[in-house]
Amino acid sequence: MTRIDAKFAALKAEGKKAFVAYIMAGDPDLETSLELMKGMPGAGVDVIELGLPFTDPMADGPTIQAAGQRALDGGQTLQKTLDMARAFRETDTTTPIVLMGYYNPIYNRGVDRFLQDAREAGIDGLIVVDLPPEEDAELCIPARAAGLNFIRLATPTTDDKRLPRVLQNTSGFVYYVSVTGITGGQAAQAGEVGPEVARIKAATDLPVIVGFGITTPDAARTIASVADGCVVGSAIVKLVGEGRPVPEILTQIAALAAGAHSA
């Protein structure tokens, strides 16, 4: 059982919904992002999504694209991102970390070496948005063999014919993208999301977490109420980009987490 599995089992036992929060590693610099990461569990974050900056983030909107560019400009690398996770693990051995990004940096390091390094750094799961199920042998299956969850995205265009393929080797949880398009776009609507979550849950025992288009505590509560939890990314990254101090960002994160937990 991974930390992700354990966290969702504990939340289920408590009758609580999960709050998942995304930050970009190295944004605006390594020290600030690590300080923010270390403060997230105390603000109510159940699972941390740690963004791996990449030069061509095709699934991300302007807010997260800009964050990735700030991180790259500051010298953030895959190694520094793993080092960041390792530093976090010095004081927190229970909060799950999901590394979210694109395949190119992983491929460049070599899959076997990357998986070993990721495990040793304390990474629990991977979301690699540009590897479809047809490429599972590339990373997904080796990751699971190495003890890492491989989390797959389902979208409004994932129909009943496609869904079993998407779910086939997925573990940890299913990330349902509530709106078509890129991150930071239109607001998620519970009336549209609810039936889709129910359709996915009918096909898997995994928790279904909803992301994209969630920017306020009310939205977090509303969306979490029709799923097993929610993800907030761009709304947090926007605060970082505005240069807000870490305590202020953590206060905003705590309000979002409280919204999700009240669902």
CATH code at position 201: 3.20.20.70
138 in catalytic set = no
To the query of whether residue 73 is one of the catalytic residues in this protein, the response is: no
Would you state the structure tokens that stand for residue 72, as one six-digit string?
A: 């790259």
186 has a pLDDT exceeding 90: no
Contact present, 249 and 240 (Cβ < 8 Å)? yes
**Separation between Cα atoms, residue 194 and residue 202, nearest integer Å:** 12
Classified as helix, coil or strand, 100 is strand
The domain tally of the chain equals 1
Which domain range does residue 68 map to? 3-261
* pTM summary value: 0.96
Average of pLDDT values for 11-21? 97
**Token pair 């930050």 is at which residue?**
23
Active-site option among 5, 27, 46, 60: 60
Give CA–CA dist 104/217, Å, rounded: 34
Nearest to 71 by CA among 44, 101, 97: 101
Report pLDDT digits (tens) over 232-249.
999 999 999 999 999 999
pLDDT of residue 17: 98
**Which residue among the candidates 5, 27, 46, 49 is catalytic per the annotation?**
49
Q: Give residue 164's pLDDT band: very low, low, confident or very high (50, 70, 90).
A: very high
The CA dihedral of 78, 109, 106, 145, to the nearest 10 degrees, is: -120
